Structure 1
Amino acid sequence: MPPQGQPPQHNPYAQPTMPSVPLGGYGPVGTPPGAPPTGSGGGGKGWLWGLGGAVVASAVWAGALFATGGFDGEAKADLAGYRYMTNLCNPTDAQPIEDSGYRQKNDSGSTSDQHSSSESPTLDTMTCNIDFEPSDAVSNDYSSVWLYTSASLHKKTNPEPEFEAQYRAYENQETSSYSYKVSPVGGLGDEAYVVRQQTKSGSTTGAYVILGVRDGWMTYQSTWSEYVSSSSSTKAKTPDEATEMLKKSAKATLEKMKE
């Protein structure tokens, strides 16, 4: 206690009774840009100004979390307008393939296609497989031609970070007979890649091409697989020719998947 009649002495080491509010990146603790100085006569005004700024910043941050679903720990799925369908063969556009000299194989009078689908709260998947044959093929020609398409609606996980890597991985799958070339493709979705199998023998009896497309949280893939015997009267498409067919088919198919 100070002697009677003397004012209490200020202790320079005393802890403040009112905690300051740190606002990282704003200079002195509790002092946002443009805040008035906290000199004599200011008392707690600087602290109150900083606290007000923190409240406003917190409100903005909270609003952003509500808008993006951050409070749920999940971002809202961007399905880009695509919808689930039980038969992916319906929107699959085969016109570019038929225009290139192929026809769908028929089995007992019905088109030879196979499809499957699965719907769940986290992931919807759809597939379609269509068998083709060259339009000018004769009875003793042997050929195996099919178009396989698949689509997935990712409802909980954004496929973007891993999408390109899935296709780039083909570049490491090389054998003594073939290798793969991976190239980006423009004009389809947010990103797209084509994988071309290249035979080292220079054979023209077949083509194997994969086209992958990501549009938002929707992923789509179409695969062209063709083999014709060396004695066949028909010739297989080159990988470049097959790529153009897949690009045209994918563009039309994706548009139909939004209707």
Structure 2
Amino acid sequence: MSIPPPGQPPPNPYQQNNPNPYAQQQPQGSVPQQYPYAQPTMPAGIPVTGQPPGTPPGQPPGAPPGQPAGQPPGAPPFGTAEKKSVPGWLWGVGGVVVASAVWAGALFATGGFDSAEEPEAVLGYGFEKDLCGTTGLEAFDERYDTAESAEDANGWGSRQEGLDQSFCSWNLTDREGDSSDYSSSYLSSSAVWHEASDPTGEFAATYKGFEDRSNEDYEYRTEPVNGLGEEAFLVTEDGGGDSGSRSMSLAVRDGWFTYEMDWSYYGGGTDSAEPPSYDEVERMLKAETEAALAGLRKKQ
């Protein structure tokens, strides 16, 4: 083995004579063809990216100093952007969402969203089968002979699954009439204990609908009444004409319990006694209804 001249490294026994197998022999005096995959080399001081002299590597041309490549001009450098705080209103929205989720969870836990669960009846009145025996008619006694009316009272009561009902009717004898008077007056009361469905949604519509029955012979008026149950209505009918028939009804809803008392009059001719005024009948209906409701509340 030959000894290399001083200052030269020892030969590499694994190095091939032609380190680039793709290099071709070029004619003498021609420019050597570079390896196609080799990276170009530039003289010192000239960037390989084609940037103007003086532009730091990685900075786009025309960008302010310190602007990294791939970032729009004017934007803060990567990693140095100021962290924006979450707006206060957004925290409020989040709190509402959390509170709503808690509320919804409570409804699910208590069955508030369970449509299969049967609604619970709201009844504050005990069932009474004999309305005839428990209705004193004291409010009507001044105008009518209620003792005689009670003897001829007719009523019934029924208890069924989901609905209890009770009813009574009386023939009223007018104290101002006589034996030749063919006019007649009647009174009835009905109570319904709704145990399977809430009557709230249909109660007002039922009695306001009476006004649509008005025609050239009969006129109906519906008025709300305060102080009785959750809602109450007074329906007045004026028959007019030769018969002089008239009627008045007072209906009350309190929870799932409804009560109605009806008064009616039918004139018998020109010799008939003058019926009580609407104001007088209204006063008697309200007083008697209040007494009946108080008695049924005690039976609960």
Indicate whether the TM-score tops 0.5: yes
Determine if the alignment matches structure 1 residue 60 to structure 2 residue 101: no
Q: 1:76 aligns with which of 120, 124, 139?
A: 120
Instruction: Give the partner amino acid of 1:33.
Output: G
Aligned residues of 1:105 and 1:131 also touching (Cα < 8 A): no
Determine if the alignment matches structure 1 residue 225 to structure 2 residue 264: yes
Determine if the alignment matches structure 1 residue 148 to structure 2 residue 148: no
Aligned residues of 1:105 and 1:112 also touching (Cα < 8 A): no
Aligned residues of 2:183 and 2:269 also touching (Cα < 8 A): no
Q: 2:168 aligns with which of 107, 119, 128?
A: 128
Determine if the alignment matches structure 1 residue 250 to structure 2 residue 289: yes
Instruction: Determine the C-alpha separation between the residues in 1 that align with 2:184 and 2:195.
Output: 36
- Residue in structure 1 matched with residue 179 of structure 2 by the alignment: 139
Count residues with an aligned counterpart: 209
Gaps of 5+ in 2: 1-88
Aligned residues of 1:93 and 1:250 also touching (Cα < 8 A): no
Instruction: Determine the C-alpha separation between the residues in 1 that align with 2:196 and 2:113.
Output: 12
Instruction: Determine the C-alpha separation between the residues in 2 that align with 1:174 and 1:127.
Output: 27
Gaps of 5+ in 1: 1-25, 36-49
Identical columns (%)? 28
Q: Which has the higher strand share?
A: 1
- Residue in structure 1 matched with residue 10 of structure 2 by the alignment: none
Deviations 1:80-113 (A, max 9, x none): x2111111112324111112x1013749xx7010
Aligned residues of 1:207 and 1:238 also touching (Cα < 8 A): no
TM-score by length of 2: 0.62
Shift of the 69–133 alpha-carbon distance from structure 1 to 2, 3 Å rule, reads: farther
Shift of the 121–137 alpha-carbon distance from structure 1 to 2, 3 Å rule, reads: same
Instruction: Determine the C-alpha separation between the residues in 2 that align with 1:219 and 1:34.
Output: 40
Shift of the 172–106 alpha-carbon distance from structure 1 to 2, 3 Å rule, reads: same
Aligned residues of 2:140 and 2:146 also touching (Cα < 8 A): no
